[in-house]
Amino acid sequence: MSKIDVVADGAIIAAHWREENHIPPPSRFVGQAYLTDAAVFERFAEENFPECFREYADLLDWKQYWHTTLDSSRPPFFKWFVGGKLNACQNCVDRHLGRHRNKTAFYFVPEQEGEPIVALTYQQLYRRVNEVAAMLRDFCGLKRGDRITLHLPMTLELPITMLACARLGVIHSQVFSGFSASACAHRIVDSASRVLITMDAYHRGGKLIDHGKKAAPTVAEAAKEGVEVEKVLFWRRYPGQCRSEAPILKQRDFFVDEVLAEYRGKEVKPEIMDANDTLFLMYTSGTTGKPKAAQHSTGGYLAYVAGTSKYIEDIHPQDVYWCMADVGWITGHSYIVYGPLALAATSVIYEGVPTFPDAGRLWRIAEELGVNIFHTSPTAIRALRRAGPDTPAKYNHRFKHMTTVGEPIEPEAWRWYWEMVGKREAVIVDTWWQTETGGHLCATVPGIHPMKPGSAGPGVPGIYPVIFDENGSQIPRGSPVAGNICIRNPWPGRMLTIWGDDARFVRTYYSRYCKPDSTDWRDWPYFAGDGALQASDGYIRILGRIDDVINVAGHRLGTKELEAACLTVPEVAEAAVVAVPDEIKGAMPDVYVSLQPGVSADDGVSRNIAAAIIDQIGPIARPRFIWLVPDLPKTRSGKIMRRVLTAISTGRDPGDVTTLANPEVVEELRALVAEKVTGVG
Ligand code: WTA
């Protein structure tokens, strides 16, 4: 076990892996890769910073070319490509009509295998995006700078709606469809959205989910918090038929397919945006209670995701690329929608769960569509491996490149991906980054670096990572000591700020190691909030979050959000949530709750707590166990000791507890948990 003295208990997951050996990238991949010459690292070296990022900006069409690559005069509010003007939708759609008009932009694969796959060409995408943009402008009255909330599942309508917003300069905030009405309402309120776009229903796990019925409670809850949603637009999974039981309110609720009849063939000129205008908001969990929105830019973000899609994902126009993430997360925004479309890629959008109806589904899709780049998360890899360890061998799919993202991947799962899924022909790229960073930070450049199971690579071109200890001293490469990973320099994909909260932006990502009075970007390292080790070859191994964030199946949940949900149950006095490792999902929440005096612990209370969590956040936050306990371990000043609870949940030694105010509860909780988890007292 490495010494992890500065990383907190959340970061336990990958600490026990041993260093693995390098594996060279398959020559079949290298032979066709965009980047095979290590000179790229000279071009993107610090002495060429920030001008090196011109190479990414030049992948875009600028209405007006920028005059200043990086304005760093007011750290950490860095501005890229200052003076530049462009439109993201024009870059992702219109400009491809010349050469790629009849090329497939997206294949939509419905979950039901009997339903036909839809191929949408760039021309058709252009038509549909324009019609929706006309509707948003003329029917909803939206204009540049307005915010809109989308709560859409994985269908073509999601990227179409996002691009329509981008065309108008309307700032979209897409909320993951699995999130509850309440979670969606908070995001509507925070972004002050007047319009909500949702869908009646979608298929998932063999069921047609009534998604539309979340809309009314969403709007009601937003209203309670002071934001009036004026219009709710429902896409219909099957146009002309409503598959939701939701009541439809005249004047407020509309079916998009009906409204669009008015806008057939309409064209909307793309709004010319400044490089530093906001393209979208993406909410994510942080240390404190409320999710916060990463506010991403138009020029810097688009340049960065286009550049990394080209160099790290290695997407060529003739490839069929499949990122099996949900567009509702940052991975989908950057590496299903904006990056690939900027390169005129052909991508797959799959509606359902990876193992429906069986473990061969993905490989059948890959075979049928000729997918050659596959991109997914360790959670999906573990689930697929469990559901059908030998299944991929039965199919003739052939990948050249496979990405993993979202969590540390354990070497065993990595090797299965490499041998069974990729058949030792596909390069694997483990990409470490975050909602806030817009695009990849650490990864191998697949045609240059060897792979190393369990490690993300070194910094990608133009990213200079560093690991600091508690005191801000750099931990050298090859040290067995873990520390806090930071990025020394600004880069174009980084969020502009946190929506509506500049102070929180500075505090969360910069205050830890910055020199507040300096105006030199070198004094403003970006603090990522992950514990990490750097091997002597420069490869980074991410250990996990150091804050109160639980990474469940690659999705970030704040322990504070879960605790707040528990406290809405009247019987609950106090709640504490900790992360426990899970074989498939990476981590799951364990919930410890003490009840109000006089309330007896019965199953009804547990059920209500579980229901409150699912209702206020969504099923992804479902706890592993809910422990109803007489008291929570506390310091003398009354602070709940989550570290002790984590140790109890994971069967580890809680260490010295003599300084607690109530050390006796530790033994009591230990016995309770041990009995349930292992069956012995
Ligand atoms: C974790 C997802 C290890 C990390 C793009 C980070 C990873 C958080 C990796 C961000 C990886 C992401 N290896 N850990 N390759 N990728 N993480 O914002 O803890 O949903 O801070 O962005 O996921 O999650 P987010």
Rounded to 5°, angle at Cα 521 from 520 and 524: 110
Q: What digits encode the pLDDT tens for the residues 547-599?
A: 888 989 888 888 888 998 999 999 998 999 999 999 999 999 999 999 988 88
330 Cβ inside 6 Å of ligand 1: yes
Q: Which of 381, 556, 585 to mutate to test the pocket of ligand 1 (most atoms within 8 A of CB)?
A: 556
Task: Pick 286 or 374 by higher pLDDT.
Answer: 374
Residue 546 confidence (pLDDT): 86
Residue closest by Cα to atom 11 of ligand 1: 432
Mark out the alpha helices in 312-450 (DSSP H runs). Answer: 330-332, 339-342, 361-369, 378-387, 411-416
The Å distance, Cα 327 to ligand 1 centre, comes to: 16
Q: What digits encode the pLDDT tens for the residues 419-473?
A: 999 999 999 999 999 999 999 999 999 999 999 999 999 999 999 999 999 899 9
Residue 659 confidence (pLDDT): 78
DSSP symbol at 526: E
- Specify the ligand 1 atom closest to the Cα of 549: 19
DSSP symbol at 402: E
Residue 637 has pLDDT above 90, yes or no: no
Among 18-22, 73-77, 367-371, where is mean pLDDT lowest? 18-22
| Rounded-to-10 torsion of CA 421, 399, 100, 350 | 0
pLDDT level of residue 17 (50, 70, 90 thresholds): low
Average pLDDT over residues 598-609: 89
Helix (H) or strand (E) holding 109: strand 104-109
405 Cβ inside 6 Å of ligand 1: yes
Residue closest by Cα to atom 15 of ligand 1: 432
218 Cβ inside 6 Å of ligand 1: no
- Rounded CA-CA distance 297/275 in Å is 7
Residue 143 confidence (pLDDT): 98
The Å distance, Cα 537 to ligand 1 centre, comes to: 21
Residue 11 confidence (pLDDT): 44
Average pLDDT over residues 676-681: 60
Helix, strand, coil distribution of the chain in percent, nearest 5: 30, 25, 45
122-138 and 157-168 helices, crossing angle to 10°: 60
The Å distance, Cα 245 to ligand 1 centre, comes to: 37
Residues of the chain with pLDDT > 70, as a percent, come to 96
Residue 556 confidence (pLDDT): 86
pLDDT level of residue 345 (50, 70, 90 thresholds): very high
The Å distance, Cα 601 to ligand 1 centre, comes to: 37
Q: Which residues pair with 355 in a beta bridge?
A: none
Distances (CA, A) of 679 to 275, 628, 675: 59, 17, 5
pTM of the complete model: 0.93
531 Cβ inside 6 Å of ligand 1: no
Kind of pairing between the strands at 526-534 and 483-487: antiparallel
Give the burial class of 180: count Cβ atoms within 10 A of its Cβ; 0-12 exposed, 13-18 middle, 19 or more buried.
Answer: buried
Kind of pairing between the strands at 572-582 and 586-595: antiparallel
Q: What digits encode the pLDDT tens for the residues 508-532?
A: 999 999 999 999 999 999 999 999 9
- Specify the ligand 1 atom closest to the Cα of 404: 15
Residue 13 has pLDDT above 70, yes or no: no
Q: Which residues pair with 595 in a beta bridge?
A: 572
Residue 6 confidence (pLDDT): 40
